[in-house]
Structure 1
């Protein structure tokens, strides 16, 4: 029976990054992953295969289509009645995924990581390590990392299938639906709803929460909702979903809104109401691996489970279900196993929604800061006063900076506007080093760039914005 220093169960962002970093640190590493796409083993988990990467490919394709159909005329460009070939759009998306998942397989080979395709199951503790069933082959491992990720949550009593799809199914819709329903106004619902809305679908979004993006800063949420409504997305908040039925032609959804019962008919229904930890087949109960009341693997701040030599990272332990959070946990744990000081600062993990306009934030909202008893000051600057945004033709939104009124420490930055997914990084770096709004304001930003809006917002926190 072959023995490894580290065996990772799961090949998503948490698992494959942990495996690569552990191999870089000199460990003998194996990874067992069950993900299959197009009938073949495919590393990268949900993110690369049916999540972050393919959704961004479709967002880009659909945004280009909408730009050609509606936005290029002001540039003096005339295009007569553009059409969309959905099959070619999906093929392009699949090609992007193939390149990246193939890249992970190459990195495994480069770093001499043994790969098993199939389910990984904890079998028994043996000496100071564990015996693991790695896709039908028993191997030994001194350290086991559980990184099995999460799965889409279904509506109670309403399984996925047919016209009712989750994120992966929404990426494979082969024609533009006339009427598209989306249950859940979170990241997945907004992004995938936006894709098909741009291509011509009428999109209705049903959300149980009473307000929009309640985890984001209030000002950002209001601004984003204004633009999404203008685009034609039809939002209904505070709804209670009742009966959901489907037949050959579509789906009927009955829901309660403001005390009234409403029945809506859709060609397709995307259900995006969160994700649940994926522990099926892991053997958790058989070996006594402790899960919490929601099914997440319980860990301490060093990712140790209740079983000696068994660790867990990524979606399966809860917290922010973000690929970049999972990757950092993979790096931190691998370094801890090597005796280094691996660490993740959960207070400044960036959040991004890749709609148009994009939404991004890191750190505290203004409301959260005040609830913690902090005295705050804020600065806000619009993209409409930025030369690059105007030249680009997208001056929507703003950047908002939140700082401690006494110390000037940067507490949070919140953005809605063009390419803010790329702008949030510098603010995270400032917060990671405990920097101030003044540090951000005094940093020279190239002109003309969108990043100047970040600088101006930091200046505005002290009443010194230059261009407003």
Structure 2
């Protein structure tokens, strides 16, 4: 029976970061993972492969739409779908092998197989039982489907199946206008599919700043995505090659159908805790099936911690990473902490959408006095040169103190630009602090500075 200071269950972004940080802090560490490769959903069938396909399809879009404008003449490239999938798989391999290297470098034991916790202080993997002073559950999440809809990952698929379709569908129906549905819908639209997104709510990307959400939907419509809003999907009838989606419109209770070659069910994710033995162990759960933790990631069972998608909070890889880092430090006797008010979110479409902190709707609900600084990318020289002038930066600041409360960006490189504001918010900066910081010219980041200036006397370039 092997003995460890820490055993982490799950090698996704939260789990592998927790394991590496534990090892760095001198704790004898093992990580349980049942997949053939490390990295969890994110690296294998989520964030990384989807970004590879987004990148490849964006290059196709640039070639078709913008190359000729820049004097790059020639025949438009054709799509070799098998080669594109091979490229995606190669990207996955490079990343997962990288985590395997980091485990070896940090002397972390990979316990291959699916883990369960028969009792506090013990983790069972296969027929072997290992002892651990501390256990971190980082089991992640799985795609959630609508009741009565059968997923076969060929015609009716989740994000996993959508990343490895046998061919590019002529017609794709996406159920759910959240991040996953819009990203993968964008991929297939660029590759030539007719894409229709069916959403139960009246707006896309729930929880996003309303102004950004409306602008985002208009932009996606211009790109050719069709939207059916306020519609409740009733059923999906599928054969081996086709599917028919039946939905009901909330506004008049009328029913309609739409045919598709592929249906992507993108209605969110749920914690994956099957097989861990949590009920028998006595681990308290929330009503939503999440593992209940205190403010220090501890569960109701002494010595058992939980992080990432299987606990409360946004299901984001970087949120899980932060929690893994913090949980490791707490176990090592340090003061691990996660600032949940400064966790950015990004949609990797084109343009990208990124946000951190409060939305206008949140501030209005709180009754907090605030001011808005906005700047359009149309006023940014670099964005205009790169055919990327759609969108804007919006900074929200306290009306009296000027302290930055949130930022919302739709535009080129939004996922990278948002981190300037994340750092500013971590240090309690005012919008004026951002405005008075020199930004290189010409860069997209100048739009962030101009939005900060707009919180004061006004931007320069509008």
Shorter-chain TM-score tier: over 0.9
Equivalent-residue separation in structure 2 for 1:327 and 1:33 (angstroms): 17
3-state DSSP of counterpart to 2:285:
coil
- The residue matched to 2:66 in structure 1 has which SS? helix
User: Gapped runs of 5+ residues in structure 1?
Assistant: 36-40
- The aligned counterpart of 2:359 is 365
Asked whether the 8 Å contact 1:181–1:270 carries over to 2, the reply is yes
> Does the residue aligned with 1:243 lie in a helix, a strand or coil?
strand
Out of 48-57 and 290-299, give the one that drifted further: 290-299
1:381–1:460 CA contact under 8 A, matched in 2: yes
Partner of 1:216: 208
Query: Does 1:153 pair with 2:144?
Result: yes
Distance 1:350 1:176 in 2: 32
Distance apart, 1:463 and its partner CA = 2.9
C-alpha distance in 1 between matches for 2:216 and 2:461: 23
Q: What do residues 13-69 of structure 1 show as CA deviations (whole Å, max 9, x unaligned)?
A: 11010000000000000010112xxxxx11000000000000000000000011112
Matches of 1:275 and 1:136, distance apart in 2: 30
Equivalent residue, structure 1, for 2:32: 32
1:194 aligns with 2:194: no
Structure 2 residue aligned with 1:57: 52
The alignment's TM-score, normalised by the length of structure 2, stands at 0.98
Q: Give the distance between the partners of 1:183 and 1:245, measured in 2 at CA.
A: 14
Cα contact 1:180–1:201 (8 A) shared by 2 = yes
Is the 8 Å Cα contact of residues 84 and 199 (structure 1) preserved in structure 2?
Answer: yes
Given that 1:277 and 1:318 are in contact with CA atoms closer than 8 Å, whether structure 2 keeps it comes out as no
CA distance in 2, matches of 1:346, 1:285: 28
Distance of 1:301 and 1:394 partners within structure 2: 42
Once the two structures are TM-superposed, the CA of residue 249 in structure 1 deviates from its matched residue by 2.2
Measured in 1, the distance between the counterparts of 2:402 and 2:16 equals: 39
* Cα drift, residue 433 of structure 1: 0.9
Match runs of 1:109-120 below 5 Å: 109-120=104-115
Partner of 2:128: 137
The Cα shift of 1:159 comes to: 2.5
Q: Partners of 1:273 and 1:212 in 2: how far apart?
A: 12
Give yes or no for contact 2:404–2:425 (8 Å, CA) kept in 1.
yes
Q: Identify which of 218, 232, 237 aligns with 2:224.
A: 232
Q: Secondary structure at the match of 1:335?
A: helix
Separation in 1, partners of 2:8, 2:452: 43
| Residue 237 of structure 2 corresponds to residue 249 of structure 1 | no
Structure 2 residue 99 is matched with structure 1 residue 108? no
How much does 1:318 deviate? Answer: 2.5
> Could you tell me how far 1:236 is from its partner in structure 2?
1.0
- The reply on whether 1:345 has 2:339 as its aligned counterpart is yes
Aligned to 2:13: 13
User: Contact 1:184/1:271 (CA < 8 Å) preserved in 2?
Assistant: yes
In 1, Cα distance between equivalents of 2:308 and 2:12: 9
Does the Cα contact within 8 Å between 2:32 and 2:113 map onto a contact in 1?
yes
Aligned twin of 1:400: 394
Aligned residue pair count: 459
**Matched residues in 2 for 1:95 and 1:440: separation?**
40
- Give the CA deviation at 1:154: 1.2
**Per-residue deviation, 1:294:** 1.7
Matched, 1:377 2:368: no
1:71 equivalent to 2:62? Answer no
Contact 2:178–2:206 at 8 Å: present in 1 too?
Answer: no
Asked whether 1:425 is paired with 2:419, we answer yes
TM-score, normalization: structure 1?
0.97
Measure how far apart 1:464 and its partner are: 2.2
Q: Contact 2:271/2:309 (CA < 8 Å) preserved in 1?
A: yes
Check whether the contact 2:352–2:412 (CA below 8 A) recurs between aligned residues. Answer: yes
